[in-house]
Amino acid sequence: MTTEPQPLLRIDELSTATVWPTSAVVAPGGDIAVAGVSLAELAERYGTPAYVLDEGEVRSRARAWRAALPQADVVYAAKAFLCRAVVDWVEQEGLGLDVCSAGELELAATRGFPPEHIVLHGNAKSPEDLRAALRLGVGRIVIDSDNEIARLAAQVAGPDPQQVMVRVVPGVAAGAHHKVRTGVAGQKFGMSIADGDALDAVGRILGQHRLRLVGLHCHLGSQITRAEPFAEAVRRVVAFMALIRERFGVTLPELDMGGGFAVAYLPGDPAPAPSVYGRLITETLAEACAAHDLPVPRLTVEPGRSIMAPAGIALYRVLSVKHTGGRAFVAVDGGMSDNPRPALYGARYTVRRVGRASDAPMRTATVVGRHCEAGDVLAESVELPDDIRAGDVLAVPAAGAYQVSMASGYNMTGRPPVVAVSEGRSRLLVRRESFDDLRMRDVGL
Ligand code: LLP
């Protein structure tokens, strides 16, 4: 007997999104199917740990951003997760790409991503980063510090100046954790508007004929659950644009407001839709420009997590269940090497067993990894069936961003594969890192 698949999620009017991709349905036998593919079967076929990416979800989120800001440039922040297939999806959906290293840039170049739609930023760009950016002809380089100005200008060889932006710090505190807040002074990114550093840098860039200053760049932080901090930042940055015009007689045509748009990790977490952020940012920009009698600059936003996180699911197999100190620990075959976020930011996740149904009551457990650290926790205090046992498969949603891209080689367990699912089929995008891969880099004795 087959049961009709039931949608797992509904995004309600207030857009407190649930945590599963839109395509996810409850399948028979306690399973979940994503894009028509059973998660339990994927665990069987590709092994665990494995990361599953719903291609349709990535594409529809990219489209939602474009629809939210039809007059703006939407550039995907590659650091959330990048592989060649994602480069293609991003290009096909009409987005640009935000990169922060020669590595991300070279990967995009292997697919012929149009370099003029690439933005390179970074607080400390290496000579290789700058060389690759200039050789490939990236559209914008975001200058992050004073000493970068002359260094970059000296490297521009062609007849045309390199288009640059200045990363400014507006003094707006926002973001899920102090480690991802970049809108205030006292951290390593950008130049402060308040202390005059940003204005000095603008003057210096304007004096370099090999650089063309096209606008300002600002990134407040990450996992910002309200639109208002973006509006406040827009007001401050536009006021600064007015100051630049007053001081240097230059009207900057572009403004990049960075990324930082939140997603739901736990059901009910606040995660405003792209249209909510988009509306407030555009309205505030128009108002602020009118107030300063400035033309409205071309806007860019750089969502990373918002496009990628909800499309990903991590799959693990349970290796052991231990009851100790009044707590239940469910240990799986992955951990902080594929998801360092709980250890780094205290991030919380929800977990679901897939592929085996039972009538067992739910019980609070902590899902831990297999690494040699007590802090190797994947999901603190989650509800799992009481009969959970070794061999069961666990699925962790909202796993598409900053997990595989931040995966490490800790304990030489090898980084997990990434599998795309789309229209009832799966395909391997990134294969599992094998012992041979690790061994091959070990070249000396
Ligand atoms: N633009 C710039 C200049 C950025 O530095 C970042 C992220 C983004 C855009 C994209 O931000 P998103 O839309 O993804 O929030 N590893 C942390 C997040 C670090 C974000 C760093 N910069 C985490 O796992 O929460």
Residues 98-134 have pLDDT tens digits of: 999 999 999 999 999 999 999 999 999 999 999 999 9
404 and 80 Cβ atoms separated by less than 8 Å: no
Q: Ligand 1 centre and the CA of 436: distance in Å?
A: 32
Q: Region 76-93: what's the mean pLDDT?
A: 98
Is there a common fold for 9-53+312-440 and 69-303?
A: no
Q: Ligand 1 centre and the CA of 252: distance in Å?
A: 25
Give SS3 for 180: helix
Instruction: Name the DSSP letter for residue 277.
Output: H
Tell me the CATH architecture of domain 9-53+312-440: Beta Barrel (2.40)
Q: What is the pLDDT of residues 234-277, one digit of tens each?
A: 999 999 999 999 999 999 999 999 999 999 999 999 999 999 99
Q: What is the pLDDT of residues 391-425, one digit of tens each?
A: 999 999 999 999 999 999 999 999 999 999 999 99
How would you classify residue 186: left for phi > 0, otherwise alpha for psi between -120 and 50, otherwise beta? left
Q: Ligand 1 centre and the CA of 181: distance in Å?
A: 10
Higher pLDDT, 3 or 13: 3
Query: Which of 25-29, 92-96, 355-359, 374-378 is predicted with the least confidence, judged by mean pLDDT?
Result: 25-29
Is the pTM for the entire model greater than 0.85? yes
Mean pLDDT of the chain: 95
Length reported for the chain: 445
Q: Is the pLDDT of residue 15 over 70?
A: no
What is the share, in percent, of the chain residues with pLDDT greater than 70?
96
125 lines ligand 1 (CB under 6 A): no
Give SS3 for 8: coil
Q: How far apart are the first and last CA of the chain?
A: 61
Q: Is the pLDDT of residue 14 over 80?
A: no
CATH class of the domain whose range is 69-303:
alpha beta
Q: What is the pLDDT of residues 290-339, one digit of tens each?
A: 999 999 999 999 999 999 999 999 999 999 999 999 999 999 999 999 99
Q: Which of 345, 349, 390 is nearest to 366 (CA)?
A: 349
Please identify which residue in the block is written with the tokens 């799959």. Answer: 315
Return the CA Rg of the chain.
Answer: 23
Structural element, H or E, at residue 282? helix 274-292
Pocket test residue of 97, 222, 408 for ligand 1, highest count of atoms within 8 A of CB: 222
Q: Where are the domains of the chain?
A: 9-53+312-440, 69-303
Q: Which of 209, 199, 302, 210 is nearest to 252 (CA)?
A: 199
Q: Which is the closest atom of ligand 1 to the Cα of 121? A: 3
341 lines ligand 1 (CB under 6 A): yes
Task: Identify any residues that bridge with 418 across adjacent strands, giving them in sequence order.
Answer: 51, 430
Beta strands at 377-385 and 362-368: parallel, antiparallel or unpaired = antiparallel
For residue 4, the tally of other CB atoms under 10 A from its CB is: 7
- State residue 5's pLDDT score: 55
Q: Is the pLDDT of residue 13 over 70?
A: no
Dig out the tokens for 87 from the structure: 């480069």
339 lines ligand 1 (CB under 6 A): no
85 and 421 Cβ atoms separated by less than 8 Å: no
Q: Which is the closest atom of ligand 1 to the Cα of 260? A: 15
142 and 167 Cβ atoms separated by less than 8 Å: yes
Q: Is the pLDDT of residue 2 over 70?
A: no
For residue 171, the tally of other CB atoms under 10 A from its CB is: 15
Q: What is the pLDDT of residues 186-236, one digit of tens each?
A: 889 999 999 999 999 999 999 999 999 999 999 999 999 999 999 999 999
Q: Which is the closest atom of ligand 1 to the Cα of 177? A: 25
Q: Is the pLDDT of residue 16 over 50?
A: no
For residue 223, the tally of other CB atoms under 10 A from its CB is: 24
Q: Ligand 1 centre and the CA of 304: distance in Å?
A: 6
Q: Is the pLDDT of residue 174 over 80?
A: yes
- State residue 8's pLDDT score: 56
Strands (E) across 3-151 are located at: 6-7, 25-27, 31-34, 37-38, 50-54, 73-77, 96-99, 118-120, 140-143
